[in-house]
Structure 1
Amino acid sequence: MWRFRGTDVAAARALVEAAFDADVTLFDTADIYGPDNDEEFGAAEALLGRVFAEAPGLREKMVLASKGGIRMGVPYDSSAAYLAEAIDASLTRLRCEKIDLYQIHRPDMLTHPQEVARALDDARTAGKITAIGVSNHTPAQTAALAEFITVPVVSHQPEFSALTTTPLFDGLFDQAMQRGMAVLAWSPLGGGRLADPTDERSRAVVALLDEKAEEAGVDRTAAAYSWIMAHPARPIPIVGTQNVSRIATIPDAYKPQWTREQWYAVLQASMGERLP
């Protein structure tokens, strides 16, 4: 929902319903989504809230995820007081009583993880959030939070694509598998670089994705998503398209089946070197 924007509620509702038609059930937003679209802080949540007001049944059909902890000009604040305020503000904008998955958007280095845990536990006890996750956190930062919280941290949200492979090597996927955490992969198309490769490395990756796409009878986007999904941590690509016809093609990601040789060939092309 990063690019979920505007004032046309009917068009916004059409996007949500198109996602349901494509068997998408997880909707991931954040309070900071808005300024990047030249809109107000919280604009994406507020637009979704207007959709819920028009069609309340849609809320019950989805897993609603949001994020907080970024403040304009600060930039990060996960203090107990601010998180309590941010969660209440998100609920008001979303016009709902509970957020299914609440994630700390970026780690706040000036807040002790025990304080973050206390704020999240309080919100969960009050029935305002159900599950707790982290976004853009290292495995060590996640482990520190998990040490103080009374329920499991259930999800990671890292950047991951065929061009950004850090979670494979920094222990994040290993931690996710060890703890049974979901992985929500943001920018799964490499920030647009897979659509428009401009350097030798991206062109090498794209060539291999295109080979797989042709083999499976899908487009490059589906091949890129499927490469992500092939990892045993079972990453879930966070698809950002705001186009109804593109949303309809999301299930094509299940069609390509990667052999080990093919999958590792993409990784090595991304690395620019062979694995030892």
Structure 2
Amino acid sequence: MWRFGDVDLQTARARIDAAFDAGITFFDTADIYGCDMPAGFGHSEALLGKVFADAPELRGRMVLASKGGIVLGTPYNSSREYIAAAIDASLARLGVDHIDLWQVHRPDILTHPTELAEALQTAVSSGKVGAVGVSNFTSAQIDALRDAMNIPLVSTQPEFSPLHLNPLQNGEFDQAMQHSLAVMAWSPLGGGRIAAPETDREKAVASVLDRVAEGFGVSRATATFSWIAAHPARPIPIIGSQTPARIAEAADIYKVTWTRKAWYDVLQAAMGENLP
């Protein structure tokens, strides 16, 4: 829902319907989304709230996730007081009394893990939040928070694509598998660079993806999503498109079957070198 914003109610509803039609039921938003639009901070949540007000039945069909903790100009705040206020504000904008998954959007270095754990536990015990996770946390930050919590940390949301391999290399995916954390991969198309490659590396990755895409009759984007989802940590690619036709393409992810060689071919093109 990052770009879910400056449109009318009918267009917003069409995007959501396209996702449901493709079998997508997980909707990922955040309080900061839409801050670059005229209505500013909270705009994307507020638009989704208008959709719910117009069609209340849609809320029960989705897993609703949101995030908070980014403060324009600060830049981060995960204090006990701020987390509580941010969740209440998101609930108000969305027009709901419960968010299924709430994640800390970015790590606040000035908040002790124990304080953050207490804030998240309070949110769950109050019934306002069903489960909690983190976004853009390092493995060490995740470990520190998990150790402070008496409820599960259920998710992590790192950047991951064939052009951003850090979670494969820094232990994040291994940690997720170790602790059964759901992984949501943001910017799965490399910020558009997979669709419109410019550098030699980007073109090499696109070429390998195209071979697989053509073999299964899917788009390059769908092949990329399926490559991400093929990892045993079972990452969920967060699809950012706001075009109903492209959202619909996501259903084709299951048409692709990756051989080990084909999957590694993409990885090696992304690395710019062959594995030993």
TM-score tier after normalising by the smaller chain length: over 0.9
Supply the distance in 1 between the matched residues of 2:269 and 2:38 (Cα, whole angstroms). Answer: 36
Contact preservation (8 Å) 1:133, 1:154 = yes
In the other structure, the counterpart of 2:104 is 104
In the other structure, the counterpart of 2:92 is 92
In the other structure, the counterpart of 2:203 is 203
Supply the distance in 2 between the matched residues of 1:275 and 1:156 (Cα, whole angstroms). Answer: 27
Cα-to-partner distance string for 1:198-243 (whole Å, 9 max, x where unaligned): 1000000000000000000111011100110110000000001101
Contact preservation (8 Å) 1:153, 1:181 = yes
In the other structure, the counterpart of 2:160 is 160
Contact preservation (8 Å) 1:223, 1:256 = yes
How much has 1:7 moved relative to structure 2?
4.6
- Sequence identity percentage: 60
How much has 1:38 moved relative to structure 2?
4.8
Contact preservation (8 Å) 1:3, 1:37 = no
The total of aligned residue pairs comes to 276
Supply the distance in 1 between the matched residues of 2:7 and 2:248 (Cα, whole angstroms). Answer: 23
Supply the distance in 2 between the matched residues of 1:55 and 1:68 (Cα, whole angstroms). Answer: 25
Q: Does 1:27 align with 2:27?
A: yes
Supply the distance in 2 between the matched residues of 1:37 and 1:105 (Cα, whole angstroms). Answer: 19
Runs (4+) of structure 1 exceeding 3 A deviation are 36-39
Supply the distance in 1 between the matched residues of 2:37 and 2:271 (Cα, whole angstroms). Answer: 32
Using structure 2 for the length normalisation, give the TM-score. Answer: 0.98
* Pairing 1:99-248 to 2, within 5 Å after superposition: 99-248=99-248
Q: Secondary structure at the match of 1:270?
A: helix
- Match for 2:177: what amino acid? M
Supply the distance in 2 between the matched residues of 1:222 and 1:210 (Cα, whole angstroms). Answer: 10
RMSD: 0.9
In the other structure, the counterpart of 1:66 is 66
For structure 2, the 5+ residue unaligned runs are none
Supply the distance in 1 between the matched residues of 2:233 and 2:30 (Cα, whole angstroms). Answer: 24
For structure 1, the 5+ residue unaligned runs are none
How much has 1:39 moved relative to structure 2?
3.9
In the other structure, the counterpart of 1:81 is 81
Q: Does 1:269 align with 2:269?
A: yes
After superposition, the Cα gap between the structure-2 partners of 1:98 and 1:168, relative to the gap in structure 1 and judged at 3 Å, is: same
Cα-to-partner distance string for 1:255-276 (whole Å, 9 max, x where unaligned): 1111111111111111111112
Using structure 1 for the length normalisation, give the TM-score. Answer: 0.98
How much has 1:37 moved relative to structure 2?
3.8
Supply the distance in 1 between the matched residues of 2:11 and 2:209 (Cα, whole angstroms). Answer: 32
Q: Secondary structure at the match of 2:36?
A: helix
Supply the distance in 2 between the matched residues of 1:136 and 1:38 (Cα, whole angstroms). Answer: 27
Supply the distance in 2 between the matched residues of 1:134 and 1:262 (Cα, whole angstroms). Answer: 31
